[in-house]
Amino acid sequence: MTLDSIIILVKKILDVSLVWLMFYYILKRIRNNVKMVLLFKGIMFIIVIKIISEIFDLVTVGLLLEYVIMWGPLAIIIIFQPEIRAILEHLGRNQLLGRHKTLTVDEREKLVYEIIQAAEYLKRTKIGALIVLERDISLNDYIEKSTKLYADISSELLISIFFPNNPLHDGGTIIQGDRITSAGAVFPVSTDQSISKRLGTRHRAALGISEETDCIAFVVSEETGRISIAINGELHYNLSLDDAKIMLLEELKPKREIVIDDEEEEEETLDDEIN
């Protein structure tokens, strides 16, 4: 094999890898966005109908679909402009090397402890709260439009932020790493029609931001005091304090640490089987 043929092979592999990487990020983004999932299903439905019309020679249906395919991309760009822009921005906002700060075990436990301590008081007194924890995808767009704090995490500060009559209590609080970055943040509200009508604006905002990013949205209901956590567009409703604590600790684990833990468990299982 000559040097030229090796270079050509490497270029082809690189070309295919970049295409697959692009599709991976697009599909990952689609999975976490309800509107884009519906759009993807609609496109697949049109493709299937088009194939059927060609097989059975359905002239009228085929002609209508030709117009849909011709003008469909333009309509999609106009109607789904915010979602398409979000997908394109995703590459710029996504931190490929992980969080801006990887928390140690002690820092992670302290962070969760302070949140749960605050949630216990807020739950008991039925004070509403929305706490959003940034992960790999940056929340700087929302931080820029909110009130900056850059304070060390503490349950007392969280309680004071959401205390009634505080100017910031209606918005969301954003945590980056183990610090409270801002308060009074406004998040997109989920438009998922399957959401229960009983859920208020905080829960819908929590779902909305979890659909747009990979954050963890922690909610305390003002009406019932119930605790919920939204992750990847899915709402875990009416959690106990212990369940919420366990979920936060698991979700805040660095990805690499999770892989290492799984490998260690497999090794321990093999050792037990051998013994």
Q: Report residue 98's pLDDT band, with 50, 70 and 90 as the boundaries.
A: very low
Helix pair angle (3-31, 81-93), 10° resolution: 120
Q: Report residue 4's pLDDT band, with 50, 70 and 90 as the boundaries.
A: confident
Domain boundary among 61, 93, 125: 93
Model pTM above 0.85: no
Percentage with pLDDT > 90 across the chain: 40
Query: Residue 275: inside a domain, yes or no?
Result: no
Query: Residue 251: inside a domain, yes or no?
Result: yes
Percentage with pLDDT > 70 across the chain: 80
In terms of domains, do 8 and 32 share one?
yes
Residue 33 corresponds to which tokens in the numbers above? Answer: 């966005």
Other CB atoms closer than 10 Å to residue 71's CB: what's the count? 10
In terms of domains, do 146 and 118 share one?
yes
Other CB atoms closer than 10 Å to residue 94's CB: what's the count? 16
The total number of structural domains in the chain stands at: 2
In terms of domains, do 206 and 230 share one?
yes
Query: Residue 274: inside a domain, yes or no?
Result: no
Residue that has been written with the tokens 């002690």 in this structure: 106
CA gap 27, 260 in Å, rounded: 26
In terms of domains, do 174 and 204 share one?
yes
Residue 25 has pLDDT above 80, yes or no: no
CATH number (domain holding residue 187): 3.40.1700.10
In terms of domains, do 120 and 230 share one?
yes
pLDDT of 162-189, one tens digit each? 999 888 888 999 999 999 999 999 999 9
Query: Residue 27: inside a domain, yes or no?
Result: yes
Domain carrying residue 31 = 3-93
pLDDT of 192-228, one tens digit each? 777 887 888 999 999 999 988 889 999 999 999 999 9
Query: Residue 164: inside a domain, yes or no?
Result: yes
Q: Report residue 69's pLDDT band, with 50, 70 and 90 as the boundaries.
A: confident
Q: What is the pLDDT of residue 72?
A: 79
Secondary structure E strands in the chain? 129-133, 147-152, 172-176, 179-185, 216-220, 227-231, 234-239
Residue that has been written with the tokens 């949140």 in this structure: 115
In sequence order, what are the beta bridge partners of 219?
130, 228
Query: Residue 100: inside a domain, yes or no?
Result: no
In terms of domains, do 175 and 124 share one?
yes
Query: Residue 195: inside a domain, yes or no?
Result: yes
Query: Residue 147: inside a domain, yes or no?
Result: yes
